[in-house]
């Protein structure tokens, strides 16, 4: 019998932790709504094919079969269902969605990790320009600000940068592929042996630093500028610099860093990607980016899109849980219900005490450290 | 700045790596005379914890430590998502397929293979297009073909002495193994300069030690 156990990787949430989580979500959803985003809710259960673009290594879903033998999953991601909605409905573009819900990813058994992650996020669909990327960043950082998260670092990256540089390297194709993999794995030992043939070329300075090409924005750009000129790289750098000055202007107290040594956080990203973290968090607080090739509209035409999602559980982890305040128990007789209701509305942090006798009410107040408001005092 | 927490695999890896850490300028006095302690804060920049190899990734993945030092056998077996940034020249050995002298690798039936590393074994046999029955053993794997539990074993071999003493032969060489320094993905961003310094110094100390060993080997 398993009627008293939770499956691995799941948990109950209650009390302060559950309440803080709810408050955080309400604040974020208000932020989205107040900026004119519309709500999109998709089902928790979808066909497994919807999530094919995800790399299977990172997102192992819970799977089961429907009555026809088709594989169903508990959704491991919230962006791909949006893609499904956009390609099957005639919704007019452009459109701005917000969503809030749980995603399920099966992690390693018995590792203490939690398989159900709550996300809240937005998708902006149908705008090609940088402005849409910037609104995502604006929403992400306004959200952090509203949740009183100080000292946030936004890390920008670009899905096309690595490929744009690798293409220029005078190396055979198989070496290029291995070099890229070693770079992405940050396998320094292997990386160093692979680029060694280019020592002494114009690429040397850049290649020697590439696995470390993240962190301080200006320093990263300085190293990129040692590369031989290439139109595509210059275009990427220009938009990153513009984005950095936008962020510095809007959120002068937050830090902007750059990472040009990583694969994009999702394989479907095609442009700028961004993630946020603080010095203390063990997880990224938000993550997003542009994905122009994933969405097609009803007529199978590709549609530009950019989105960002908060990891609500990581935010809760960072939030300070309120110290439980002393509660007031309102004890009353059966015929005093109306009076009790009015006291309930008047007194902060109060709740009706439903005990049958005054003595039981007193005991309850003593054992929970609550204050007792006794409306039956002086009555017989 | 908070110290960087490093999970070090206890046992042989620890014995081989501590001299390298010391050579790279880290105060390892506590680690050298450790008694039964598990946490060491002798160097203000680092906090070392001693854990079993398979637990290194559990600590790293949870973000409770920033750096791990562990054998590549464990990284391969567990599937690692963190950055294995540096190969150290210590802990070098190799996975092999071994069995008794009368074992026939071409035998016409489904083989039974005993191992401590079921995932690595599965991948190897999938790679050569063979399907085998795998039996997970926790230790003294060499026994399995001798006692008749399995046809052959997949295990790590350093010098081959244990195999020879048990009259076992190597039938195939699989991937090599060495000790690696692994860094949590997010921690690398949070502690970039400190981790870069750690890696640079450790790499230099390791290269020097590797050269010294080579010279010693040659002069033998």
pLDDT tens digits, one per residue of A307-351: 999 999 999 888 777 777 789 999 999 999 999 999 999 999 999
Q: Name all domains of chain B by residue range, CATH numbers in brackets.
A: 4-91+178-219 (3.40.190.10), 93-176 (3.40.190.10)
Least confident stretch, A139-148, A258-267, B40-49: A258-267
Amino acid A144: pLDDT? 92
- Asked whether residue A30 falls in the same domain as residue A126, the answer is yes
Amino acid A56: pLDDT? 63
Q: Are A163 and A276 in contact (CB under 8 A)?
A: no
> Does any CB of chain A come closer than 8 Å to the CB of residue B143?
no
* pLDDT of A58 higher than 70: no
Report yes or no on A86 lying in a domain: yes
Report yes or no on A92 lying in a domain: yes
Query: Mean pLDDT across chain A, nearest whole number?
Result: 90
Amino acid A78: pLDDT? 92
- Asked whether residue A107 falls in the same domain as residue A152, the answer is yes
Average pLDDT of span A14-37: 93
Among the candidates A296, A318, A340, a domain finishes at: A318
* pLDDT of B75 higher than 70: yes
Digit-coded pLDDT (tens) for A66-79: 999 899 999 999 99
- Asked whether residue A275 falls in the same domain as residue A302, the answer is yes
Give the β-pairing of A286-290 and B83-87. Answer: unpaired
Report yes or no on A305 lying in a domain: yes
CA distance A125 to A88: 15
CA distance B208 to B220: 19
Residue A24 has a CB neighbour count (10 Å cut-off) of 22
Name the minimum distance, in Å, from the CA of A108 to any CA of chain B. 9
Average pLDDT of span A108-133: 88
Indicate the helix (H) or strand (E) that contains B55: helix B53-62
Name the minimum distance, in Å, from the CA of B60 to any CA of chain A. 10
Report yes or no on A60 lying in a domain: yes
Q: Could you tell me how many CB contacts below 8 A there are between chain A and chain B?
A: 54
CA distance B65 to A68: 46
Helices A15-34 and A130-146 meet at what angle, rounded to 10? 140
Amino acid B79: pLDDT? 82
- Asked whether residue A367 falls in the same domain as residue A277, the answer is no
What is the ipTM score, two decimals?
0.77
- Asked whether residue A308 falls in the same domain as residue A337, the answer is no
Amino acid A298: pLDDT? 65
Cβ contacts of A104 within 8 Å, gap of 6 or more: A44, A61, A62, A73, A74, A75, A76, A115, A116, A117
Structural domain total, chain A: 2
> Does any CB of chain B come closer than 8 Å to the CB of residue A55?
no
Domain around A134: 15-158+264-318
> Which member of B58, B64, B85 has the closest CB to residue A187?
B85
Residues of A whose CB is below 8 A from B81: 57-58
Alpha helices in chain A (DSSP H): 15-34, 79-88, 130-146, 161-168, 173-185, 188-195, 204-209, 217-224, 231-250, 312-318, 337-346, 358-368
Alpha helices in A319-372 (DSSP H): 337-346, 358-368
> Does any CB of chain A come closer than 8 Å to the CB of residue B63?
yes
Quickly count helices (H) and strands (E) in chain B. Answer: 9, 11
- Asked whether residue A368 falls in the same domain as residue A310, the answer is no
Average pLDDT of span B164-178: 94
* pLDDT of A10 higher than 90: no
Query: Is residue A279 very low, low, confident or very high in pLDDT (cuts 50, 70, 90)?
Result: confident
CA distance A261 to B197: 18
Asked whether the beta carbons of residue A188 and residue B183 sit closer than 8 angstroms, the reply is no
Angle at A351 between CA A350 and CA A353, to 5 degrees: 130
Report yes or no on A201 lying in a domain: no
- Asked whether residue A314 falls in the same domain as residue A342, the answer is no
Residues of A whose CB is below 8 A from B64: 282
Torsion region of B27: left, alpha or beta (phi above 0 gives left; psi -120 to 50 gives alpha): beta
Residues in a beta bridge with B180: B70, B87
* pLDDT of A90 higher than 90: no
Least confident stretch, A322-326, B155-159, B178-182, B214-218: A322-326
Angle at B42 between CA B39 and CA B48, to 5 degrees: 35
> Does any CB of chain A come closer than 8 Å to the CB of residue B85?
yes
Closest CA to A331 of A310, A353, A309: A353
Looking at residue A259, what DSSP letter applies?
Answer: E
CA distance B85 to B195: 11
Report yes or no on A96 lying in a domain: yes
Amino acid A268: pLDDT? 81
Q: Are B66 and B182 in contact (CB under 8 A)?
A: no
Q: Are A93 and B43 in contact (CB under 8 A)?
A: no
In the three-class reduction of DSSP (H, G, I as helix; E, B as strand; rest coil), residue A288 is classed as: strand
- Asked whether residue A61 falls in the same domain as residue A144, the answer is yes
- Asked whether residue A346 falls in the same domain as residue A314, the answer is no
CA distance A201 to A190: 20
Q: Are A58 and A103 in contact (CB under 8 A)?
A: no
Report yes or no on A203 lying in a domain: no
- Asked whether residue A149 falls in the same domain as residue A59, the answer is yes
Read off the CATH number of the domain in which A270 is found: 3.30.930.10
* pLDDT of A280 higher than 80: no
CA distance B133 to B125: 10
CA distance A6 to A239: 48
- Asked whether residue A85 falls in the same domain as residue A125, the answer is yes
- Asked whether residue A269 falls in the same domain as residue A357, the answer is no
Among the candidates A279, A300, A318, a domain finishes at: A318
Residues of B whose CB is below 8 A from A185: 83-84
Kindly state the percentage of chain B with pLDDT values over 90: 79
Average pLDDT of span A101-115: 83
Cβ contacts of B141 within 8 Å, gap of 6 or more: B114, B115, B116, B153, B155
Closest CA to A97 of A116, A117, A119, A115: A119
Asked whether the beta carbons of residue A215 and residue B64 sit closer than 8 angstroms, the reply is no
Among the candidates A277, A297, A318, a domain finishes at: A318
In the three-class reduction of DSSP (H, G, I as helix; E, B as strand; rest coil), residue A49 is classed as: helix
Average pLDDT of span B65-92: 92
Cis peptide preceding A103, ω within 30 of 0: no
Asked whether the beta carbons of residue A113 and residue B61 sit closer than 8 angstroms, the reply is yes
Report yes or no on A129 lying in a domain: yes
């Amino acid at each position: 019998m398993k009627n008293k156990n939770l499956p691995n990787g799941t948990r109950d949430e209650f009390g302060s932790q559950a309440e803080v989580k709810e408050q955080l979500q309400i604040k974020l959803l208000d932020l989205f709504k107040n900026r004119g985003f519309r709500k999109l809710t998709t089902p928790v259960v979808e066909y497994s094919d919807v999530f094919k673009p995800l790399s299977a290594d990172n997102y192992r879903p819970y799977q089961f079969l429907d009555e026809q033998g088709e594989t169903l999953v508990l959704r491991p991601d919230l962006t791909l269902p949006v893609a499904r909605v956009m390609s099957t409905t005639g919704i007019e573009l452009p459109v701005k969605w917000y969503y809030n819900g749980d995603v399920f990813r099966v992690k390693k058994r018995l590792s203490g990790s939690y398989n159900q992650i709550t996300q809240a996020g937005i998708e902006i669909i149908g705008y090609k320009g940088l402005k849409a990327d910037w609104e995502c960043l604006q929403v992400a950082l306004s959200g952090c600000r509203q949740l009183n998260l100080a000292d946030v670092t936004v890390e920008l990256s670009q899905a096309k940068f690595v490929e744009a540089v690798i293409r220029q390297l005078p190396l055979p194709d198989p070496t290029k592929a291995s070099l890229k993999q070693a770079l992405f794995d940050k396998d320094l030992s292997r990386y160093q042996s692979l680029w060694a043939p280019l020592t002494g070329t114009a690429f040397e300075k850049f290649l020697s630093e590439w696995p470390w090409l993240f962190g301080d924005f200006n320093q990263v750009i300085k190293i990129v500028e040692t590369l031989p000129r290439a139109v595509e790289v210059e275009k990427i750098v220009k938009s990153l610099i513009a984005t950095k000055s936008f962020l510095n202007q809007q959120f002068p107290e937050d830090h902007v860093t750059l990472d040009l040594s990583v694969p994009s956080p999702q394989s479907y990203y095609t442009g700028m990607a961004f993630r946020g973290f603080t010095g203390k968090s063990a997880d990224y607080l938000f993550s997003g980016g542009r994905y122009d090739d994933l969405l097609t509209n009803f007529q199978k035409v590709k549609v530009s899109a950019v989105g960002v999602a908060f990891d609500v559980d990581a935010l809760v982890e960072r939030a300070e849980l309120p110290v439980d305040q002393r509660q007031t128990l309102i004890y009353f007789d059966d015929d005093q219900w109306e009076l009790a209701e009015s006291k309930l509305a008047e007194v902060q942090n109060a709740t009706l005490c439903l005990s049958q006798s005054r003595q039981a009410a007193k005991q309850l107040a003593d054992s929970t450290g609550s204050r007792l408001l006794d409306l039956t005092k002086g009555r017989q | 700045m908070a110290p960087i927490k490093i999970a070090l695999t206890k046992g042989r890896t620890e014995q081989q790596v501590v001299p390298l850490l010391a050579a790279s300028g880290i105060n390892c006095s506590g680690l050298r005379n450790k008694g039964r302690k598990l946490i060491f804060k002798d160097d203000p920049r680092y906090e070392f914890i001693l854990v079993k190899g398979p637990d290194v990734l559990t600590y790293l993945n949870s973000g409770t430590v920033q750096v791990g030092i562990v054998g590549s056998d464990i990284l391969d077996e567990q599937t690692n998502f963190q950055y294995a940034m540096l190969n150290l020249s210590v802990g070098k050995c190799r996975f092999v397929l071994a069995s008794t002298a009368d074992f026939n690798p071409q035998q016409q039936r489904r083989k039974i293979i005993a191992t401590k590393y079921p995932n690595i074994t599965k991948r190897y046999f999938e790679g050569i297009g063979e399907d085998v029955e795998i039996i997970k053993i926790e230790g003294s794997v060499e026994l399995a073909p001798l006692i008749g539990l399995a046809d052959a074993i997949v295990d790590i071999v350093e010098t081959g002495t244990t195999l020879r003493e048990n009259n076992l032969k190597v039938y195939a060489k699989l991937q090599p193994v060495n000790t690696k320094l692994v860094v949590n993905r997010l921690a690398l961003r949070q502690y970039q300069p400190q981790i870069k310094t750690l890696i640079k110094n450790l790499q230099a100390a390791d290269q020097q030690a590797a050269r010294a060993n080579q010279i010693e080997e040659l002069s033998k």
